[in-house]
Amino acid sequence: MKTVAIIEDQTAICEMISQAVLDPELFEVIIQSSDGLAGSEACLELKPDFVILDVMLPSLNGIEILHRFREKIPDSQVLIFSGFQSPSLLRELLQAGAHGFVEKTAPLSELRKGAEIVASGGSYFGPEVTLLLREAMSDPKSSDSGTHILTKREREILQLIADSHSTRKIASKLQISIKTAENHRTNLMRKLNRHDVASLTRYAINNGLISITG
């Protein structure tokens, strides 16, 4: 039996996956979390065999969680389950260590199939994602606008800015000085050619770091 973590910001979807998608004879859900940071820390402690992971999450987005997993729990298999998809995001998720991706518009049978394949060590991509994946692989320039051009710290700060955190709150949350947080914000704007918080927020939404509702 495989141990499972579900990190998804909508509690109802978490429960639906646990109760209606995963076969209780094959899977034991040991972690359910609606918060990216809390969910990832629980995974680092309990080391589940298999993780179903959303991309747009509070506190820590799916891409950063994958980077943590690749370093700390590389044996955990990860299936992305998200409503946001683009060639650049797919490329980043794969580079960060995702083993599969099922879109939220897919039927539950698709998610069930993907879960069983990825949990067993395979790779699985839903039909819509497969088309985008081909586009991403055939056109390397499709990822030019992705967050891969940012450092890990810059991606963290971009998400916090887009989640409406002030510079003071960002500094406190990341345990850095206010001046350092301000410098990161300035570097972000220069690197991305965005000159206000609204444009940075739109960039974060377009690259799957936060949802439109925040």
Please tell me the pTM assigned to this model.
Answer: 0.70
CA distance 97 to 69: 8
For residue 190, the domain's CATH number is 1.10.10.10
Q: Do 81 and 108 form a contact (C-beta atoms < 8 A)?
A: no
In terms of domains, do 128 and 152 share one? Answer: no
Please tell me the total count of domains within the chain: 2
Give the model's confidence band at 36: pLDDT under 50 very low, under 70 low, under 90 confident, else very high.
very high
**What distance in Å separates the CA atoms of residue 64 and residue 101, rounded to the nearest whole number?**
16
What tokens were used for 20?
């209606």
Q: Which amino acid is at 100?
A: G
Q: Work out the burial of residue 4: count CB atoms within 10 Å of its CB; fewer than 13 is exposed, 13-18 middle, 19 or more buried.
A: buried
Residue 211 forms part of a structural domain:
no
What average pLDDT does range 190-210 have in this prediction?
A: 75
d(CA 106, CA 82): 10
Domain of 154, in residue numbers: 147-206
DSSP assignment letter at 150: S
The CATH number of the domain holding residue 27 is 3.40.50.2300
Interval 35-62 mean pLDDT = 94
Q: In this structure, are 101 and 6 located in the same domain?
A: yes
Q: What is the C-alpha separation between 142 and 148, in angstroms, rounded?
A: 12
